[in-house]
Amino acid sequence: MTTPVIEAKALTKRYGTQVAVDRLDLTINKGEVFGLLGPNGAGKTTTILMALGLTEPTGGSIATVGFDPLRQPLEVKRRVGYLPDSVGFYDNMTGRDNLRYTARLGGIPRIAVDGRITTALERVGLVAAAERPVATYSRGMRQRLGIAEIIMRRVDVAILDEPTNGLDPQSTQEFLELIRSLKGEGMTVILSSHLLELVQSICDRVALFSNGRIGLMGSVKQLIHDVLGSEIVVHLEANGFSGGKLEGIEGIDKVIELATGSWRIEARRDVRADVARRVIEAGANLERLSLGTASLQDVYSRFFEGQRHAA
């Protein structure tokens, strides 16, 4: 039986007449990496703030690791680590001293502090920079120090809000490996990010937020099946060809014209041989025929395209 670490029921947050979160039902289970997706203003950050007890719900309820974040804030803070978009550390203090300060605030026994700090700094690759002022740290180093704090505190849940913003590809990859290692130790990781490729590579489940509600939720594979129906994508470029000539090919679910002479074909099997045959029969010039797979980006685009049409 799975154990929920975040459980929201009809969770609502209003700011005056504006509804930021609208009767949200959400369960995040122990040990999973869960992605929160959606445009700015969709309700992701407000949901995170309510889970942390940093803002009060207008209606409904939320429990974080079994506690009410507003009535039992210390219990929640002991068990949850939060890494915001911009990590706040004391610039004039060293990385190690920042962690010591956090350890004192968190009530970590003094006899255990130094060992935990060293272990955490080793995990994130900051031992060599530990005695330098944080003012000299790059953005990536600050993010790693934030993860070191979460490791040092041995929390049950890590909430990471846009943790890879501004990081170069190598730093982003290192950060992903850190997240995987936390999951491997049984920690629940909640990740809010606009980088859909990153989310797809690491998350067990994702939720797409729109106008304060969850429009879609599930594993990436499940969402691809539910939203697109097809996992195979064929890209066709052919001069002098009409997409209508692809009608009747078995296995094709959808043909989308991207530009003149360019199509995206969603299918349940590899249809390239049949597509090439149709192009040749039409006397057209085949320039490109490539095979790919549907992605979370495709799901995201299709979902919000539907939202715009509905509006």
Of 80-84, 160-164, 296-300, which gets the smallest average pLDDT? 160-164
- Which pLDDT band holds residue 76 (cuts at 50, 70, 90)? very high
User: What percent of the chain is modeled with pLDDT above 90?
Assistant: 73
pLDDT (tens digit, 9 = 90+) per residue, 146-197?
999 999 999 999 999 888 877 788 888 888 888 899 999 899 999 998 889 8
The answer as to whether 224 is a domain residue is no
Q: Are residues 289 and 142 in the same domain?
A: no
Q: Are residues 204 and 82 in the same domain?
A: yes
Q: Are residues 205 and 275 in the same domain?
A: no
What's the pLDDT score for residue 107?
Answer: 85
The answer as to whether 202 is a domain residue is yes
What's the pLDDT score for residue 1?
Answer: 62
Q: Are residues 157 and 257 in the same domain?
A: no
User: What percent of the chain is modeled with pLDDT above 70?
Assistant: 99
Q: Are residues 150 and 202 in the same domain?
A: yes
What's the pLDDT score for residue 193?
Answer: 87
The answer as to whether 309 is a domain residue is no
Q: Are residues 125 and 236 in the same domain?
A: no
Could you tell me which residues come within 8 angstroms of residue 191 by beta carbon, excluding any fewer than 6 positions away? Answer: 33, 34, 35, 36, 160, 163, 179, 199, 202, 203
DSSP state of 40: T
What is the average per-residue pLDDT within 233-240? 95
What is the average per-residue pLDDT within 274-292? 95
DSSP string, 177-230: HHHHHHHHTT-EEEEE-S-HHHHHHH-SEEEEEETTEEEEEE-HHHHIIIIIS-
What's the pLDDT score for residue 309?
Answer: 66
What's the pLDDT score for residue 310?
Answer: 63
pLDDT (tens digit, 9 = 90+) per residue, 88-146?
899 999 999 999 999 988 888 889 999 999 999 999 999 999 999 999 998 888 988 99
Give the residue numbers spanning the domain of 285: 232-293
What's the pLDDT score for residue 190?
Answer: 96
Question: Is the predicted pLDDT of residue 267 greater than 70, yes or no?
Answer: yes
The answer as to whether 298 is a domain residue is no
What's the pLDDT score for residue 164?
Answer: 80
Considering only residues 260 and 84, tell me which one the structure prediction assigns the higher pLDDT. 260
CATH value at residue 276: 3.30.70.100
The answer as to whether 134 is a domain residue is yes
Q: Are residues 85 and 184 in the same domain?
A: yes
Q: Are residues 187 and 54 in the same domain?
A: yes
Q: Are residues 258 and 110 in the same domain?
A: no
Question: For residue 195, which of 223, 173, 226 has the smallest C-alpha distance?
Answer: 173
What is the average per-residue pLDDT within 38-56? 94
Q: Are residues 54 and 175 in the same domain?
A: yes
CATH value at residue 65: 3.40.50.300
- Which pLDDT band holds residue 198 (cuts at 50, 70, 90)? confident
The answer as to whether 301 is a domain residue is no
Q: Are residues 245 and 215 in the same domain?
A: no
What is the average per-residue pLDDT within 213-224? 94
Of 79-83, 146-150, 226-230, 242-246, which gets the smallest average pLDDT? 226-230
CB 57 within 8 A of CB 11: yes
Q: Are residues 168 and 40 in the same domain?
A: yes
The answer as to whether 57 is a domain residue is yes
Domain count across the chain: 2
Question: Is the predicted pLDDT of residue 311 greater than 60, yes or no?
Answer: no
The answer as to whether 308 is a domain residue is no
pTM assigned to the model: 0.87
